[in-house]
Each structure stands twice: as structure tokens, then as C-alpha cells.
């Protein structure tokens, strides 16, 4: 019985490979699974949803991952980089909107030397002592990660993408290796970063065994955040004609992750919101508790084209904050930020 397996996962936070396999391949008790995951998330986090403001600082990348729309092999894409001033201005806007975490994400762009990154991080740290600074800039040496940390960064996101060596090799060029990837993640943890990892769901050639391997790797790494999203085909890439990952399987994995890692920060990702109009809402109901709205300048947003039809890239998305506030509220959760509390306090005073 699938329900027994779900109950076992909820109480033991673990299953045998065989039981994971049964659970992943059977859809009959999905609603029950989502409910159990939501009950665990509510026990620990109540209805709270955390916001992380995402600033996409560069779409230059020296790597050519086969799935990624901003890989170096894509000669059609117009490239951009934000200046330090532009990045600081995004932080300022974000701060005023109530964001207290800034995520600087970008391709592996050699223009952004360690010195430049440290300089930008120090400037943000100086202006916003009460904020978390998250970096998501790919694989670097332990020395570089340490330098960023000393400059004031305290979190780092680096998805492992897939944990199994032979599958990793099918998604990446030969100069990249899963061994290096994992080493980076362990380095980050050792330095003291709050670390996020994760994987794509439904990437080309992925098997159920691969997904179980991903869960096992996460058990070993014990990350603070786990970001997963469906693979979505990106034009001008090797995988442009592969089918997208499924909404259902992604939601299921969010729930499984919530039951395995009750305290984890699990975002309802932009990719999830891209494959279904209410994807992020469904993600929250399945156990996710973080949203990462885009704070990048609108004029560059469509260029950070990791995959096709990415949401929040049009003019209407200038202010994702309001949009998300409505969506989260309608789904039965609440965004927690300082501004939210201030507003609430003001409303209470008024009434
Ligand atoms: N589909 C879905 N997710 C993708 N990413 C990169 N390319 C794609 C794609 N085509 C994800 C990777 C990366 C994160 C920033 O975006 O998992 O770590
Ligand atoms: Fe970006 Fe809705 S969250 S437009």
C-alpha cells in the first residue's frame, strides 16, 4: 500500500530504494502525499513563506551544459552583465520592497573576478547589515569561496543537477564532473555557508534510479536549501527538442523532500511556475516554503533565458512582489518579511 509507504517516510524520514521506487512510480496517493508534506511543513514553519530576491547579474558563462539556455555554445543569445551600481540599485529596490535576502546569480563569467565579486559583496554588506547575501555563481576554488565568505556572503546555491556520474556525463561537457561539483558543495559547507543544492526533474536520460541517487546524495550533504524544478527545453541548446519534466513528478519530489528533510528551505521555483500557471502555488501546497522572485532590471530579464517561456520576464513583472503576495495569500499561506510585519502592524493600529 502506497499510503503505508508515505506514512513510513513521514515517521522515519527515509525509505529503502525499493520503496522510493514504488512511491515515485505510483500516482494513486499523490493527494495524500501532498497533505502529509503540508502537515509537516505547517508543524515547523506554520503557513510562513520566505522570500529571496533574485538578481541575475550576468548571462555570460564559460560552460556549455547541454540543457542550459545561457551556455557558451549558444551564439544566438545577446549577452549582458550588470554593473556594480545596477546590482546595488536592485538591492535598494529590493530592500524597500521588504526583501532581506539578496541572491546574486549568474553564469560562470570570467569578467567577474574574485576581486570584483568581493568588492560587490562588501558594498552590499556595508549597506545592508541585516540582510543575508546569497551567491549562486557556480563552481569556484575553495579559496575563492572563502574570500567571498570573508567579504560578507553567507549563503551559496549550487545545484548538483544529478548525482550519478554517468547521468551527469550525459548532461554536461567532458570538462565538467560530478566529483568536482560535489567537492564544491562540501567545501561550501565546511567554510560555513548555508548551502543550497538540488536537481532538475525530468532531465534527458534521467531514470527513477537517478532520482533516488539524488535523494541519497542530499542525505549525505544535508543542505539547508533544496531547489528542484522541472527540466524545460531551451532553444539553441543540444536538448532543445527533449520533452519537459513533469509537474506531477516535481510536486511529488517536493513532498518527498519535505518528509525527508522537515526543516529544509524548499523553493517553489520559477521553472515550476513556468510549466504550469499555478505551478508555484501547487509547489507550496506540496511542501515548499520559499519563493525567489526576480529583482533583476526588467530590460535584461528575457536575456537570462535558462529555458523557454520563463515567467516574470515581461514588463508586467516589474514588480513580482505584489503578484506573489496575492498568489500566496490565495493559496492559504503568508509571506513573512519585515515590511509585511510593518504593514500588519499599521493595519492593526488602524482597526
Ligand atoms: N530547465 C530547467 N532548469 C534549468 N536550469 C538550467 N537550465 C535549465 C533548463 N533548461 C536550472 C539548473 C541551474 C539553475 C540555475 O537553473 O538546475 O542550477
Ligand atoms: Fe513575477 Fe508574478 S511573480 S509576475
Pairing assessment for the beta strands 290-291 and 194-201 based on DSSP bridges: unpaired
CA–centroid distance, 48 to ligand 2, in Å, is 19
Give the nearest ligand 2 atom to 273 CA: 3
How far is CA 196 from its chain centroid? 8
pLDDT at residue 347 in the model: 53
pLDDT at residue 252 in the model: 98
* Nearest-10 crossing angle of helices 247-260, 2-12: 40
Ligand sitting nearest the alpha carbon of 61: 1
pLDDT at residue 310 in the model: 96
* Nearest-10 crossing angle of helices 17-25, 247-260: 140
DSSP of 214-281, one letter per residue?
HHHHHHHH--SEEEEEE----TTSTTTTSPPPPHHHHHHHHHHHHHH-TT-B-B--HHHHHHSTTHHH
Residue with CA closest to ligand 1 atom 16: 306
Cα distances (Å, whole numbers) of residue 288 to 106, 212, 298: 24, 19, 26
Give the nearest ligand 2 atom to 324 CA: 3
The Cβ of residue 3 has, within 10 Å, a number of other Cβ atoms equal to 12
Give the nearest ligand 2 atom to 316 CA: 4
Per-residue pLDDT of the chain (351 residues; tens, 9 = 90+): 999 999 999 999 999 999 999 999 999 999 999 999 999 999 999 999 999 999 999 999 999 999 999 999 999 999 999 999 999 999 999 999 999 999 999 999 999 999 999 999 999 999 999 999 999 999 999 999 999 999 999 999 999 999 999 999 999 999 999 999 999 999 999 999 999 999 999 999 999 999 999 999 999 999 999 999 999 999 999 999 999 999 999 999 999 999 999 999 999 999 999 999 999 999 999 999 999 999 999 999 999 999 999 999 988 777 888 899 999 999 999 999 754 444 444 455 455
Say yes or no: CB of residue 317 within 6 Å of ligand 2.
yes
Say yes or no: CB of residue 293 within 6 Å of ligand 2.
yes
List pLDDT tens digits, range 280-302. Answer: 999 999 999 999 999 999 999 99
List pLDDT tens digits, range 160-216. Answer: 999 999 999 999 999 999 999 999 999 999 999 999 999 999 999 999 999 999 999
**Bridge partner residues of 229 (DSSP):** 200
Is the Cα dihedral 214, 218, 219, 220 positive or negative? positive
Give the nearest ligand 1 atom to 67 CA: 10
Q: What is the DSSP letter of 173?
A: -
Amino acid at each position: 500500500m502506497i499510503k503505508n509507504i508515505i506514512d513510513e517516510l513521514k515517521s522515519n524520514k527515509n525509505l529503502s530504494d525499493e520503496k522510493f521506487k514504488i512511491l515515485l512510480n505510483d500516482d494513486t496517493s499523490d493527494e495524500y502525499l501532498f497533505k502529509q508534506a503540508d502537515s509537516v511543513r505547517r508543524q515547523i514553519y506554520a503557513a510562513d513563506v520566505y522570500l529571496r530576491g533574485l538578481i541575475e547579474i550576468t548571462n555570460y558563462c564559460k560552460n556549455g551544459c547541454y540543457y542550459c539556455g545561457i551556455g557558451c555554445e549558444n551564439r544566438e543569445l545577446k549577452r549582458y552583465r550588470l554593473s556594480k551600481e545596477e546590482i546595488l540599485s536592485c538591492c535598494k529596490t529590493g530592500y524597500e520592497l521588504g526583501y532581506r535576502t539578496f541572491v546574486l546569480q549568474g553564469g560562470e563569467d570570467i569578467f567577474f573576478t574574485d576581486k570584483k565579486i568581493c568588492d560587490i559583496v562588501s558594498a552590499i554588506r556595508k549597506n545592508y547589515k541585516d540582510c543575508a547575501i546569497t551567491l549562486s555563481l557556480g563552481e569556484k576554488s575553495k579559496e575563492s569561496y572563502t574570500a567571498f565568505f570573508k567579504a560578507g556572503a553567507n549563503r551559496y546555491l549550487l545545484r548538483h543537477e544529478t548525482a550519478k556520474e554517468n547521468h551527469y556525463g550525459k548532461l554536461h561537457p567532458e570538462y565538467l564532473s560530478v566529483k568536482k561539483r560535489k567537492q564544491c558543495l562540501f567545501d561550501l559547507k565546511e567554510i560555513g555557508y548555508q548551502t543550497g543544492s538540488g536537481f532538475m526533474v525530468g532531465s534527458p536520460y534521467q531514470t527513477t534510479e537517478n532520482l533516488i541517487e539524488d535523494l541519497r546524495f542530499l542525505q549525505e550533504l544535508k543542505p539547508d536549501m533544496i531547489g528542484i524544478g522541472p527540466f524545460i527545453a531551451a532553444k539553441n541548446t543540444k536538448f532543445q527538442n527533449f520533452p519537459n519534466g513533469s509537474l506531477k513528478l516535481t510536486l511529488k519530489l517536493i513532498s518527498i523532500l519535505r518528509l525527508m528533510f522537515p526543516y529544509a528551505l524548499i523553493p517553489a521555483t520559477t521553472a515550476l511556475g513556468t510549466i504550469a500557471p499555478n505551478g508555484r502555488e501547487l509547489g507550496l501546497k506540496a511542501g515548499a516554503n520559499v519563493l525567489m522572485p526576480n529583482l533583476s532590471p526588467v530590460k535584461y530579464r528575457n536575456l537570462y533565458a535558462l529555458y523557454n517561456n520563463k515567467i516574470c520576464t515581461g514588463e508586467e513583472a516589474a514588480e513580482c512582489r505584489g503578484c506573489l503576495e496575492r498568489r500566496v495569500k490565495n493559496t492559504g499561506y503568508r509571506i513573512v518579511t519585515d515590511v509585511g510585519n510593518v504593514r500588519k502592524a499599521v493595519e492593526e493600529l488602524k482597526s
